[in-house]
Structure 1
Amino acid sequence: MSLAVPAAADRAALADVVGRVVRLDPAAVVRLRTVGDGVALWAGTPFAVLVAAAAPGRVEPADVTVVGSDLLAALTVVDAPALDPGTAVDDRWRGDLPGPVRWDVVGEIGAAEIDAVVARADPSGLDEPVWEAGGVRVPARCVVAVAGMGWPEGGAPVPVAVSSDGAWMRLDLGVAAIVRHRRPSLTVLM
């Protein structure tokens, strides 16, 4: 198994995202996928949203789940374009991912709005919508996840772009994104 990310800056950006995930959940797993000429990274969070990031590169096999702390160690210790991302733990991945989709931007949430949502957030009301545009209703948990992951950081606060593909919503943070199903998933009982 190998992860190839040629540019040191891209490896550092992925390490930053994985580091934030691992700080929130030391037992987090990360799913890596080769998509076109790049590698996409997905991780679950305690906020019940996904964190996504991408960089030019590839992973072999083309779709694998690894332990976040192992991947973080490899990305921060190995100074080479190719590295071992850790042992495969595919059975630990829960949930689905958006397919190869076109994201349509529907608006942006200002930094002041993010701060206001986080300041009044109630754990029992995380599914309540706090922002809406173009038919996309963003629940508080997505905005709280942006702050919980420590974004945006440094410099002037920036707005967060909100996109949708119809079934999923995405809050784009530049280096990464918060992604969530727009509708709750159904549980099938057998």
Structure 2
Amino acid sequence: MRSQQRVLHVSDPAERENLATFLSRAIRLDVAAVVRLRRRGDTFVSAWVTTGFEALAVRTVSAELGVDDVTVGADLVLAGLGSGSPIDLGYSMDSAWRGALPPSDGFAHIDDVPARTLVELAERGAQLAKEHGSSHGPPASLLDQTVLTVSADPVSVEVPMRVVFALTAMDFIPHSGDRAEARRIPPSEIVRVRATNTWLRIDARYGSVARRRGGAIPLTPS
């Protein structure tokens, strides 16, 4: 480990491929995407990106990071992953990151939902966006609409279309074929819905999305 240097080292080829795929999807959504790298212990690094849907996406890989927390260009990291050598992250772009990250722990497991259900919702949403959207994208009323409510007594968590779109845009659900289609998702594949008092998180096989909850209710009885 190169302590307190802006260096990222992903030694495992499979983990380099995982992170490269994640960053490629982020850049597909925003060519100027930045990635916030945060160290988790001595052996893991979480990579956070924005999605354009007011939701964050994260993938955690086995890696070494010389600083605790740094924001840099996603394209810089992606380019460096091809060599297998430690990546010099250069100057930080911390000012480019707006807003806080969700906590690393404290999430309560609400319920598991068939992944196919989320993809079906995304397909319906995409059709509605095509019919009612504009050059600026889907209407805010569609994005803010609650499309799924997940409950575990006494807690009820609302999932807006924004989060569903973010999950499918990052291609976090495994599927056969070139893109996620409901009919290509195994019925046994699930996503896990978790929440704190102020954050919603959905964990899929290849990554997670998180968004602040509006009008959040306590997760514990008063």
Shorter-chain TM-score bucket reads 0.7 to 0.9
The one of 34, 37, 43 equivalent to 1:32 is 37
Q: SS of 1:47's equivalent?
A: coil
CA deviation after TM superposition for structure 1 residue 52, in Å? 0.6
CA deviation after TM superposition for structure 1 residue 133, in Å? 1.6
TM-score by length of 1: 0.87
1:82-93 aligned at under 5 Å gives the runs: 82-93=86-97
Deviates more, 1:59-68 or 1:143-152: 143-152
Contact 2:173 2:205 (8 Å CA) reproduced? no
- Structure showing greater radius of gyration is 2
The aligned residue for residue 130 of structure 1 is: 147
The aligned residue for residue 172 of structure 1 is: 203
Identity of aligned residues (%): 32
Contact 2:11 2:84 (8 Å CA) reproduced? no
CA deviation after TM superposition for structure 1 residue 130, in Å? 1.0
The whole-number CA distance in structure 2 between the counterparts of 1:79 and 1:4 is 8
CA deviation after TM superposition for structure 1 residue 46, in Å? 1.1
What letter is aligned with 2:149? E
The whole-number CA distance in structure 2 between the counterparts of 1:154 and 1:20 is 16
Deviates more, 1:8-17 or 1:147-156: 147-156
CA deviation after TM superposition for structure 1 residue 16, in Å? 1.0
CA deviation after TM superposition for structure 1 residue 120, in Å? 2.5
Contact 1:31 1:43 (8 Å CA) reproduced? yes
1:1-190 aligned at under 5 Å gives the runs: 1-37=6-42, 38-75=44-81, 77-80=82-85, 82-121=86-125, 122=129, 123-124=138-139, 125-134=142-151, 135-155=156-176, 157=185, 158-183=189-214
Q: SS of 2:206's equivalent?
A: coil
Contact 1:67 1:86 (8 Å CA) reproduced? no
Q: SS of 1:20's equivalent?
A: helix
CA deviation after TM superposition for structure 1 residue 86, in Å? 4.5
Paired residues in the alignment total 182
The whole-number CA distance in structure 2 between the counterparts of 1:94 and 1:56 is 26
* Offset from partner CA, 1:13-56 (integer Å, 9 cap, x none): 11111111011111011000112132111101111110111122
The whole-number CA distance in structure 2 between the counterparts of 1:12 and 1:23 is 16
Deviates more, 1:165-174 or 1:24-33: 165-174
The whole-number CA distance in structure 1 between the counterparts of 2:83 and 2:200 is 34
The aligned residue for residue 187 of structure 1 is: none
* Offset from partner CA, 1:122-151 (integer Å, 9 cap, x none): 422111111112311110111111222223
The whole-number CA distance in structure 2 between the counterparts of 1:3 and 1:43 is 16
Deviates more, 1:150-159 or 1:66-75: 150-159
Deviates more, 1:4-13 or 1:111-120: 111-120
CA deviation after TM superposition for structure 1 residue 101, in Å? 1.3
Gaps of 5+ in 1: 185-190
Contact 1:163 1:171 (8 Å CA) reproduced? yes
